[in-house]
């Protein structure tokens, strides 16, 4: 289907929250103590991180997310949006009298790991997707925090002719069958240490349901089964080495943004994953889920300086 008449590039559906970010050398043992080296409060959530990256790359993006409440966390989050991302096209109420504002404590430690504690994510709801919005966009993406709402929105987007790119739905065959790309991390499917199991998962999911399947493995790269190569081998792609690691929060969200950017640019799977991986690696240099997002030209220049090849 032609997308030439559509005025939006991407609808990003899912989670908007307040992130409370701490950086410390290591998590203390139970009953122990660790000094917080750096603290920051930021716009957060998988959808928000992805949307901010896309907008920084010049992509016309609409954000359909959970409502934000009239509480202290909501007041702070509204002020952060006004200060840091006033250009966000948010199609949801950010001043609900009944909603609780979800927030997440994200702790980054010197080993490159990230630990999270959240509140008000259980039972998270996102409004229904307007079918008129769906037929006005090229790509739709969501993640499963508001699971049933995300599934419903994906169906509406698919019916409206948008290409669907889902994150962390890889065990949901119905969603896979309406997706162009299915991205998931080993956090959601397991087998982080079993490369052969990941290869077989990607291959069997592609063969059974049809999309390009990408399984991300953090600093070990990703496994990809290209929909254009049904019956062919699965490819293992390396990660780029991050020049500086401050915080890995949001790396998966920025990787997803890179995949969406590649889709919009008409790139093949190799070029798309190369860009997405580089964007995620560079993001690690700053605290928060989106603060480290670099301009497209800088990402492309970084790629040219690196040794990177699939197997």
| pLDDT, tens digit (0-9, with 9 covering 90-100), for 121-145 | 998 999 999 999 999 999 999 999 9
Q: How confident is the model at residue 188 (pLDDT cuts 50, 70, 90)?
A: confident
Question: What whole-number distance in Å separates Cα of residue 288 and Cα of residue 175?
Answer: 29
**Beta pairing partners, 61:** 10
Q: What's this model's pTM, rounded to 2 decimal places?
A: 0.95
pLDDT exceeds cutoff 80 at 311: no
Sorted by where each starts, the structural domains of the chain and their CATH numbers stand as: 8-304 (3.40.1190.20)
Tokens linked to 293:
């997002």
- The rounded distance, in Å, linking the Cα atoms of 98 and 66 is 12
Sheet holding 103-109, edge to edge: 38-44, 17-24, 103-109, 114-119
In this prediction, residue 194 carries a pLDDT of: 85
Rounded CA separation 249/115 (Å): 9
Share of the chain above pLDDT 90, in %: 89
Instruction: Check whether 233 has a pLDDT greater than 70.
Output: yes
Q: Are 259 and 272 in contact (CB under 8 A)?
A: yes
Give me the mean pLDDT over the 200-224 stretch.
95
Task: Give pLDDT, residue 54.
Answer: 98
Neighbours of 95 (CB within 10 A): 12
DSSP annotation of 94 reads S
Q: Which residues pair with 290 in a beta bridge?
A: none
CB 285 within 8 A of CB 247: no
| Matching residue, tokens 């669907």 | 164
Mean pLDDT of the chain: 94
Condensed to tens digits (0 to 9), the pLDDT of residues 241-300 reads: 999 999 999 999 999 999 999 999 999 999 999 999 999 999 999 999 999 999 999 999
pLDDT of residue 2: 45
Please tell me which residue, 13 or 3, carries the higher pLDDT value.
Answer: 13
Do strands 61-65 and 8-14 pair parallel, antiparallel, or not at all (unpaired)?
parallel
Tokens representing residue 73 in the block: 């966390």
Q: What is the pLDDT of residue 4?
A: 55
Those residues with Cβ within 8 angstroms of residue 182's Cβ, 6 or more apart along the chain or in another chain: 165, 166, 169, 170, 175, 176, 205, 209, 211, 212, 213, 214
- Residue bearing tokens 């040794």: 307
């Amino acid at each position: 289907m032609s997308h030439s008449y559509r005025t939006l590039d991407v609808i990003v559906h899912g989670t908007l929250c307040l992130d409370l970010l701490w950086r410390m050398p290591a998590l203390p043992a139970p009953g122990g103590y660790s000094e917080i080296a750096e603290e920051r409060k930021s716009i957060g959530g998988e959808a928000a991180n992805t949307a901010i990256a896309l907008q920084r790359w010049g992509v016309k993006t609409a954000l359909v997310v959970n409502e934000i409440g009239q509480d202290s966390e909501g007041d702070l989050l509204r002020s952060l949006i006004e200060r840091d991302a006033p250009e966000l096209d948010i199609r949801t109420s950010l001043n609900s009298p009944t909603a609780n504002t979800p927030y997440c404590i994200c702790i980054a430690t010197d080993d490159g790991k990230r630990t999270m504690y959240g509140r008000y994510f259980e039972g998270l709801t996102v409004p229904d997707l307007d079918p008129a919005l769906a037929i006005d966009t090229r790509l739709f993406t969501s993640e499963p925090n508001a699971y049933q709402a995300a599934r419903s929105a994906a169906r509406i987007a698919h019916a409206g002719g948008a290409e669907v790119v889902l994150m962390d739905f890889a065990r949901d065959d119905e969603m896979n069958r309406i997706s162009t790309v299915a991205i998931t991390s080993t956090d959601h499917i397991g087998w982080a240490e079993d490369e052969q199991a990941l290869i077989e998962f990607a291959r069997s999911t592609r063969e059974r349901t049809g999309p390009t399947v990408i399984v991300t493995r953090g600093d070990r790269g990703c496994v990809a089964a290209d929909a254009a190569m049904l019956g062919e081998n699965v490819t293992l792609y390396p990660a780029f080495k991050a020049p500086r690691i401050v915080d890995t929060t949001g790396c998966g969200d920025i990787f997803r943004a890179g995949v969406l950017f590649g889709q919009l640019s008409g790139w093949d799977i190799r070029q798309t994953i190369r860009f997405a991986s580089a964007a995620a690696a560079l993001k690690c240099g700053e605290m928060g889920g989106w603060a480290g997002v670099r301009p497209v030209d800088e990402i492309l220049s970084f790629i040219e300086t690196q040794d990177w090849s699939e197997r």
